Structure 1
């Protein structure tokens, strides 16, 4: 395992801090007029996504984290575990809903995702920014409702319920932003 001196901390570097994996969001080397130089670092905890600020002496060192990101396809779930297939090795990996979080609302069979592994265990699943999903249930828009900001609720094939424009009908395919859960466009 590689050891990094704090002078070499850069954005994107994955390290072990307090026995957990972190990614460096930003770092700033500071050399004051008096005293020892130091490095101000913003770290994101990979297990929870929490951001922390930390100051390291110029002589501090940290070990690199054994973090691997692989492209996977969603297969199925049994309500306890969500199963994915590694697209290169065709190995099956699984994780719990706690790791996936609210992203389960956007998972459809064969959806391409990125799995982040630490010590060969899944610590996060990241979906693509946009998914195309079928609307299975929505009420028809009322005649005369032509205001561009008017919306109604629609149930998607995954069970998620989102707000869509009045012109969307049951059976149509729409594009959804997985980060915000908002309607983006109708797919023709």
Structure 2
């Protein structure tokens, strides 16, 4: 285990809090007027998925979980379990939708990603900063629409719905930011 200052916590970090493994969902650094600053962290317990909030003082040291990362290939989804294969040993591992969280919106079969293990159990995945996905459903485009004109919802091949400019049509491949889940550009 290594310690990190509370002010350095970021979304997606895994920490040990009250002897439980927790994933940071959201952080906010607050400095109220002449009072001491603090970090408000929204966390999810890895074991049971329970969400909770905790305030850390700015000077608090937080115990980060040491993870073992393995290169794995996403194979398929069965029910609410996603299956991955270790590219070195060909061993298969399943992860629940709960453990993956929003990451499942950006997974395509046969894509290679980094899977995080803690004490031999898979606890999450590390996605690239952007992914390119095909639009499978959206309302027809508006003739003469420009990049800063109206927007519309579009369903991607993973089922994720994202807001895109009006000129994007079915079959277009778009680049999505995996941190925010937002449209970046056409590919």
TM-score normalized by the length of structure 2: 0.67
List runs of 5+ in structure 2 lacking aligned partners: 9-13, 24-38
- Offset of 1:87 from its aligned partner? 2.2
In 2, are the aligned partners of 1:71 and 1:114 still within 8 Å (CA)? yes
Superposition CA RMSD, Å = 3.6
Given the alignment of the two structures, is residue 75 of structure 1 paired with residue 78 of structure 2, yes or no? no
Is the partner of 2:117 in helix, strand or coil? strand
In 2, are the aligned partners of 1:106 and 1:158 still within 8 Å (CA)? yes
Q: What residue in structure 2 maps to residue 170 of structure 1?
A: 170
Q: Rg bigger for which structure?
A: 1
In 2, are the aligned partners of 1:112 and 1:128 still within 8 Å (CA)? no
TM-score normalized by the length of structure 1: 0.67
List runs of 5+ in structure 1 lacking aligned partners: 24-40, 58-62
Partners of 1:70 and 1:131 in 2: how far apart?
A: 19
- Offset of 1:160 from its aligned partner? 1.5
Stretches (4+) displaced over 4 A = 9-12, 14-17, 41-46, 48-52, 54-57, 63-66
The superposition leaves residues 127-159 of structure 1 with CA deviations (integer Å, 9 ceiling, x where unpaired) of: 222111111122222224336142112111111
Change (3 A) 1:170 1:66: closer
Q: What residue in structure 2 maps to residue 88 of structure 1?
A: 88
In 2, are the aligned partners of 1:20 and 1:45 still within 8 Å (CA)? no
Partners of 2:65 and 2:148 in 1: how far apart?
A: 49
In 1, are the aligned partners of 2:15 and 2:65 still within 8 Å (CA)? yes
